[in-house]
Chain A
């Protein structure tokens, strides 16, 4: 059974640009959550999607957005990148959102 797949694994972007990260959940999982991990702030919840609907959102500016497709794959987008957006972005999938979450290996975003 394939695990959670995040692409790309590494990304370097310039301030002011935008970026799209992708997450393919485990087959049969309908919930996808996104987390930002930084040395200073630790692991912070961004948002969660279930059946193409955003059910929960963390305390991040509107530059951070996401969506989920009918096949449960999810994308997150960050517009007008800032240096502080440099982080490891982790995606987790679960069957319903309150069952065991499985994480991908993350996308390391560096903003220069």
Chain B
């Protein structure tokens, strides 16, 4: 079984500043994916960034980057130059990488990010 833990229920950042959201996970799988999803007030889950566990290089997507520490089972999200539109609930999630078969997403409890002027 996979578990995902987000220990920060809420975070706040000023516009244009940088913020880091924490996530730890536990899995017995040798190959898996890790994700950060954003859920704004519209409720639609939007994929922010995806990391393949076998890749050592940290994923980056514009202002969003991750710090993937495989041995520590840590997967934090860094948001640079924060914008008002970044305000949302952020969920960390894991998924077994098992080509051709179903694999559910296991979510953390989420971190609510506030962006202030």
Q: Do A and B associate with each other?
A: yes
List the interface of chain A (C-beta within 8 A of B): 31, 33, 35, 42-43, 45, 48, 50, 55-56, 58, 88, 90, 92, 96-98, 100-106, 108
- Contact assessment for A100 and B47 in the assembled complex, using a CB-CB cutoff below 8 Å: yes
Please, which residue of chain B has its CB at the minimum distance from the CB of A3? B44
Taking a contact as CB atoms closer than 8 A, the residue among B47, B98, B109 that contacts A101 in the complex is B47
- Minimum distance in angstroms from B96 CB to a CB of chain A: 8
Q: Report the count of interface residues on B (CB-CB < 8 A).
A: 25
Q: Mark B96-117, 1 if CB is under 8 A from A, else 0.
A: 0111111111111110000000
Min CB distance A52 to B, Å, is: 13
Answer whether residue B55 sits at the interface, using C-beta atoms and an 8 A cutoff.
no
Check B104–A96 contact: CB distance below 8 A: no
What's the nearest-Cβ distance from chain A to residue B59, in Å? 13
Check B98–A105 contact: CB distance below 8 A. Answer: no
Given A33-B104, A42-B107, A45-B106, check contact A106 B99 (CB 8 Å): no
**How long is the Cα–Cα vector from A88 to B43 in the complex, in angstroms?**
9
Does B51 lie at the interface of the complex (its beta carbon under 8 Å from any beta carbon of A)? no
CB within 8 Å of A: which residues of B?
33, 37, 42-47, 50, 91, 95, 97-110
What residues on B are CB-neighbors of A35 within 8 Å?
A: 105, 107
Shortest Cβ gap from B102 to chain A (Å): 4
Residue of B nearest to A55 (CB): B102
Q: Complex formed: what's the CA distance from A106 to B100 in Å? A: 26
Among B45, B97, B106, max chain A CB count under 10 A is at B45
Top 4 nearest A-B pairs (CB, nearest first) are A55-B102, A103-B45, A43-B107, A56-B102
Would you give the shortest CB distance from B5 to chain A, in whole angstroms? 11
Kindly state the separation between the CA atoms of A102 and B45 in the bound complex, as whole angstroms: 8
Q: Which residues of B contact A100 (CB under 8 A)?
A: 47, 50
Chain A residue numbers with a CB within 8 Å of B104 are: 33, 45, 48, 56, 58
Contacts of B43 in A (CB 8 A): 88, 90, 105-106, 108
> CB distance B45 to A92 under 8 Å?
yes
Residues of chain B within 8 A (CB-CB) of A55 are 101-102
